[in-house]
């Protein structure tokens, strides 16, 4: 009996030793993974968090030749100035939200619809070919795209205006008239960015059983009903996650995009907050004022992100039929 009890103790101590070795090995592996994070975290700190320290210039009348602490402290002067420029910030916020969110929502909707249509194609080769073609615009730079758009929509010798003249219609200043700024940027953003969403949503649809579509087809469901009652409920989480991630960047515009398409004749509806910050900061040398506007932009973006996150959390807890 004592011998059996001793064997049990030996076996138990052996298992304990093996478990400790396994935990130690796992800890070493985790440490190696954490080391791999260091370069990424370093870049993130240098280019994202360190510049936040320099937001302090928003509270000073900053002069480059004097430095921060020798410049005059003015408190909230620059924030109040921006708030008093009612016409400026009202138009800037409208331009930024309408063009960025309009482009985002239209890209997501187009992405869902086309990804669903691709999923209905039975040929795998055809699916891959369409996915490849749809993602190409995503990799075209805005500089290259602006040249293409200039060729088609130029007022003087653009292809579209030449066609309008050939049909007896007058020319349209698509790139210069402020009334075309919003639809132009929304359409361009949709064309360029929807390929990315097509790829994401098509990947999410791969986990949906094909038998569900077959049963729905036997029951007489059309494509629209399949999309609404089968596809969307099962990719809802992916759609909401993408929405939260993208809406958080609604006030952060692609500066090159708006820089290339903004001109003196359409600036009233084309200028976004980032272009405004660039114009006052780098062109006019009002660094403190542009820093104040940048802080306001960041605070609004943070609030919008938090609101979207809470909304998506509530929507994820509800059934699709209740939304």
Q: How confident is the model at residue 139 (pLDDT cuts 50, 70, 90)?
A: very high
Do 143 and 208 have their domain in common?
yes
Q: How confident is the model at residue 5 (pLDDT cuts 50, 70, 90)?
A: very low
> What is the residue-averaged pLDDT of the chain?
84
Looking at residue 186, its pLDDT comes to: 94
- Work out the end-to-end distance of the chain between its first and last CA atoms, rounded to an integer number of angstroms: 67
For tokens 């280019």, the residue is 47
Do 92 and 49 have their domain in common?
no
Do 108 and 244 have their domain in common?
yes
Under DSSP, the state recorded for 320 is: G
Residue 193's nearest CA partner among 128, 107, 261, 110 is 107
Do 96 and 192 have their domain in common?
yes
For tokens 């929807």, the residue is 194
Q: Following DSSP, what letter does each residue of 197-250 receive, concatenated? A: HHHHHHHHHTTS-HHHHHHHHHTT--HHHHIIIIIHHHHHHHHHHHHHHHHTTT
Looking at residue 12, its pLDDT comes to: 47
Cα separation, 181 vs 192, whole angstroms: 16
Cα separation, 315 vs 192, whole angstroms: 28
- pLDDT per residue over 24-76, tens digit each? 555 555 777 788 888 988 998 888 888 888 888 899 998 888 888 888 888 89
Cα separation, 84 vs 81, whole angstroms: 5
Domain tally, the chain:
2
Do 213 and 293 have their domain in common?
yes
Looking at residue 29, its pLDDT comes to: 58
Looking at residue 28, its pLDDT comes to: 55
What CATH number is attached to the domain comprising 222?
A: 1.10.3720.10
* Sequence-ordered strand ranges (E) for the chain: 60-63, 67-73
Residue 90 pLDDT greater than 80, yes or no: yes
C-alpha atoms less than 13 angstroms from C-alpha of 154 in its C-beta half-sphere: 9
Do 96 and 8 have their domain in common?
no
Looking at residue 16, its pLDDT comes to: 53
- pLDDT per residue over 267-281, tens digit each? 889 999 999 999 998
Contact indicator for 300, 186 with CB cutoff of 8 Å: no
Do 267 and 121 have their domain in common?
yes
Domain with 196 in it: 87-322
Do 18 and 157 have their domain in common?
no
Under DSSP, the state recorded for 67 is: E
Contact indicator for 201, 243 with CB cutoff of 8 Å: no
Contact indicator for 250, 96 with CB cutoff of 8 Å: yes
CB atoms within 10 A of CB 270: 22
């Amino acid at each position: 009996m004592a011998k059996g009890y001793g064997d049990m103790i030996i076996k138990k101590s052996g298992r304990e030793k093996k478990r400790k070795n396994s935990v130690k090995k796992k800890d070493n592996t985790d440490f190696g993974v954490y080391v791999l994070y260091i370069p990424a975290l370093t870049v993130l700190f240098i280019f994202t968090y360190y510049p936040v320290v320099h937001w302090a210039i928003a509270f000073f009348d900053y002069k480059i030749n004097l430095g921060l602490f020798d410049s005059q402290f003015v408190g909230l002067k620059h924030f109040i100035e921006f708030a008093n420029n009612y016409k400026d910030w009202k138009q800037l916020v409208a331009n930024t939200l309408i063009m960025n969110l309009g482009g985002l929502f239209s890209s997501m909707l187009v992405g869902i619809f086309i990804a669903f249509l691709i999923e209905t194609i039975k040929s795998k080769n055809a699916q891959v070919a369409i996915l490849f073609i749809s993602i190409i615009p995503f990799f075209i730079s805005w500089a290259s795209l602006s040249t293409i758009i200039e060729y088609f929509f130029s007022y003087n010798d653009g292809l579209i205006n030449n066609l309008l003249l050939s049909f007896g219609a007058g020319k349209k200043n698509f790139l210069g008239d402020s009334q075309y700024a919003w639809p132009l940027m929304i359409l361009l953003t949709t064309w360029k960015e929807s390929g990315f969403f097509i790829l994401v949503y098509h990947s999410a649809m791969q986990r949906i059983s094909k038998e569900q579509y077959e049963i729905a087809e036997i029951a007489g469901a059309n494509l629209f009903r399949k999309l609404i009652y089968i596809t969307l409920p099962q990719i809802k989480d992916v759609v909401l996650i993408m929405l939260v991630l993208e809406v958080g960047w609604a006030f952060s515009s692609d500066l090159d995009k708006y820089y290339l398409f903004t001109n003196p004749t359409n600036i009233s509806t084309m200028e976004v907050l980032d272009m405004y910050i660039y114009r006052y900061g780098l062109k006019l040398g009002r660094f403190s004022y542009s820093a104040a506007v940048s802080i306001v932009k960041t605070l609004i973006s943070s609030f919008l992100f938090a609101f979207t996150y809470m909304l998506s959390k509530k929507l994820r807890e509800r059934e699709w039929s209740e939304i």
